[in-house]
Amino acid sequence: MKILFLTLLDFSSFSDRNIYCDLLREFIVGGNEVYCISPTERRFGKDTRFEENGHLLKLKIGNVQKTNPLEKGISTLMMGHQFKTAVKRYFKDTKFDLILYSTPPITLLNAVKYAKKRDGAKTYLMLKDIFPQNAVDIGLFKKTGLKGKIYKYFRKREKTLYDISDRIGCMSKANADYIIRHNRGLDKAKVGICPNSIEVTDKRLTAEQKETVRNKYGIPLDKKVFVYGGNLGKPQGIPFLIDCLRAGKENGDVYYLIIGDGTEYGAIDAFVKDEKPQNVRLMRSLPKDEYDTVTASCDVGMIFLDHRFTIPNFPSRLLSYMQVGIPVLACTDRASDIGAVISDGGFGWWCESNSVDNFSSLIPRCISSDLHKMGDNGFSYLSENYSSKNSYDEIMNSWNEL
């Protein structure tokens, strides 16, 4: 079977470690031919080119990150045409059987429609973002006025994308229920669950290894270390995270390590510099292997989401914590079911991300728990439920039913 994967993730090889490349390798091992279009922004100074013996097209696009809002907007609007043109030009002699596409998918609509019609291919949407409602929830869009027109434009394209998708794989049950509930007329039979997943590798450290890593990075040995790793943007509700750090800065038993980048990095940096909390450290993003090693030396992984979300997000950051064998403290909105998964699975705790008191009250509970056992529970849950092989099987089962 020939598969075309369309993504906005910039990666250079199928051997890279992320939720998409891990899945693509499962298809390759399964005997399928996998082709991919992955973007590279103009600011990197590289032209469109093929990698992976002609199977990975690195498509040059405009700048969408680390640029001004006008350029980002123009580049985003142009991507749909660029991806479609790339399919027509670079894969004109390849007939695809299955088209996979992922978050955020709306900009890929034109390319999906074209390839589906041209080749009679089946289409599978791996739904990671529910856009544009997620932008409405945190105040980036409105449903009235000028921003309301932008919302309606993207909402129309969202509905069209669902219509042309033969299957929609959602991250969780709450995710699937939301899509069905808020899209009247959508065929319920095409909506299933295809969670974020990875190639499971045991990255847990021994006590001696943890001590070595902490010494290397200057992380205290005599405190319970709570680590947050990932994007530091508006969806993560960074003001609430800062309030939680501020409330806990006098707690001599814990140490908070924040690793990441994003639009709100400066807000945390300003907090650290202005208030000088002795138990908070902010680090820029690290290479993945290094990040995993540092995280594995910590005691608890943290997840934050803005409490205003009405859509059920399910952050993939959870998987990296589970893989290194540390339990998880999730502070999210009520729409997400990630808290229920963590609590029911016996590998973490949850509170709503609008009460610093609730967060603070959980810290002693975390510290007094059997963190090693809970971390092992998380690793076992990961192996059983969030392996990329599971996602591969779900997509192939859907393909066989079409």
Residue pair 75/61 in contact by the 8 Å Cβ criterion = yes
Q: Could you tell me the CATH superfamily of domain 2-198+387-401?
A: Glycogen Phosphorylase B; (3.40.50.2000)
- Residues near 67 by beta carbon (within 8 Å), at least 6 away in sequence: 43, 75
The span from the CA of 189 to the CA of 193, in Å, is 11
Rg (CA), the chain: 21
Task: Indicate the pairing of strand 167-170 with strand 122-126.
Answer: parallel
Residue 315, preceding peptide bond in cis (omega within 30° of 0)? no
Is 207-385 the same fold as 2-198+387-401? yes
- Which letter does DSSP use for residue 225 in this model? E
* pTM of the full structure: 0.91
The amino acid sitting at 41 is E
| Dihedrals phi, psi of 197, to nearest 5 degrees | -150, 160
Residue 139 zone, left/alpha/beta (φ > 0; ψ -120 to 50; rest) = left
pLDDT of residue 104: 67
The CATH class of the 207-385 domain is alpha beta
The span from the CA of 320 to the CA of 328, in Å, is 10
In what helix (H) or strand (E) does residue 231 lie, and over which residues does it extend?
strand 224-231
Token reading at 50? 């093929």
Q: Hey, CA dihedral for 161, 397, 7, 111, is it positive or negative?
A: negative
Of the candidates 290, 298, 301, the residue with the CA atom closest to the CA atom of residue 211? 298
pLDDT of residue 309: 93
pLDDT of residue 105: 63
Q: Break the chain into its structural domains and give their ranges.
A: 2-198+387-401, 207-385
* pLDDT tens digits in sequence order for the chain, 402 residues long: 999 999 988 998 999 999 999 999 999 999 999 999 999 988 888 999 998 888 999 999 988 776 777 777 787 778 888 999 999 999 999 999 999 998 766 778 889 999 999 999 999 999 998 988 898 888 888 888 888 888 898 888 889 999 999 999 999 999 999 999 999 989 999 999 999 999 999 999 999 999 999 999 999 999 999 999 989 988 999 999 999 999 988 888 999 999 999 889 999 999 999 999 999 999 999 999 999 999 999 999 999 999 999 999 999 999 999 999 999 999 999 999 999 999 999 999 999 999 999 999 999 999 999 999 999 999 999 999 999 999 999 999 998 887
pLDDT of residue 212: 97
pLDDT of residue 174: 94
- Which letter does DSSP use for residue 258 in this model? E
Task: Indicate the pairing of strand 254-261 with strand 98-101.
Answer: unpaired
Helices (H) and strands (E) in the chain, counts: 15, 14
Residue pair 121/294 in contact by the 8 Å Cβ criterion = no
